[in-house]
Amino acid sequence: MAAQLSVQPSVTNVNPRKHITPQWVSLVSGGIAGGVEAAVTYPFEYSKTRLQLIQHGSTTKTNPLRLIAEVARQEGPRSLYTGCTTLIVGTAGKAAVRFVSYDTIRNALSDEHGKLSAGGGILAGMAAGAVESVLAVTPTERIKTALIDDAKTHRQFNSGIHAARVLVQRHGLPELYRGLVSTTVKQSATSAVRMGTYNILKEMSKQQGLSPNALTSFGTGALAGIVTVYATQPFDTIKTRAQSVQGAGIVDAVSSVMRDYGIKGFWKGSSMRLGRLFLSGGIVFSVYEQVSAMLAPVVRD
């Protein structure tokens, strides 16, 4: 009687390993995305900062669009880009740091399929915001805010480099880190909400069967930007007051906002920040996703 042979089918692992984004890809993609976003949306940032620096009783226009028109008419269109170079360099740097930090933490917290929970996305975003605040955001925001504040008075600064040199000569290197605490709080909150919301919306779009492309990335990032504005605007207002030319501590910055405008003053400039973060959210995430895809296409193991 012929021996019966039992043939067992070979078992293979049908689940692909999760895709890990290389850190150099996050660095380059984030830097490019940040630079593009800053260059396109800077007039919104300029007008928002000017509005937040207006003191009670000033005759300066408080409507954002009228402020832009007034500044362009009286000081020339180029004045709307005062401090722009500093912000572009700073934004490119902070976006690079943010995405490297975020992707590193995301890679560690995501499951075997590469899925990141809502809480994990918020945590990764918060940590990334804190890192970028210390390494990139605070110094560049200090210089940018000082330049914009200076431009509305007697103009003692000629450029971002000149402003940095004067501030350091007068008060020492720590002057560039004035407002570090308020900036870190603002940046951590902003990054947590922005990156966390983007992660949630991205996972939802996958569940709905939407194919990832530049359009869906832009839309998801834009919606994340809207949520971020209203959730974190008070932190941004306090940070701006703390980093004016004269500078102020957190308590003084909060007190000055309350004194000038009351509770609603903490959301001053939100309409222009909304315009900026709506565009920037769409731009930075869509550019980041597209550049990342070109530099490191998904490899299935």
Share of the chain above pLDDT 90, in %: 21
In-domain check, residue 12:
no
Between 103 and 150, residue with greater pLDDT: 103
In-domain check, residue 102:
yes
Q: Tell me whether residue 172 is exposed, middle or buried, using C-beta atoms within 10 angstroms of its C-beta: 0 to 12, 13 to 18, 19 or more.
A: exposed
Q: pLDDT digits over 3-14, tens only?
A: 444 444 444 444
Q: pLDDT digits over 81-116, tens only?
A: 877 887 788 789 888 999 999 999 988 888 877 788
In-domain check, residue 11:
no
Total-model pTM? 0.68
Task: Give the CA distances from residue 203 to residues 79, 197, 284, in Å, rounded to whole numbers and listed in that order.
Answer: 41, 10, 18
pLDDT at 72 > cutoff 90:
no
Task: Give the CA distances from residue 166 to residues 147, 158, 176, 198, 245, in Å, rounded to whole numbers and listed in that order.
Answer: 12, 10, 10, 39, 11
**How many domains in the chain?**
1
Residue 286 domain boundaries: 23-295
- CATH number where 30 lies: 1.50.40.10
In-domain check, residue 17:
no
In-domain check, residue 13:
no
In-domain check, residue 8:
no
pLDDT at 298 > cutoff 60:
no
In-domain check, residue 301:
no
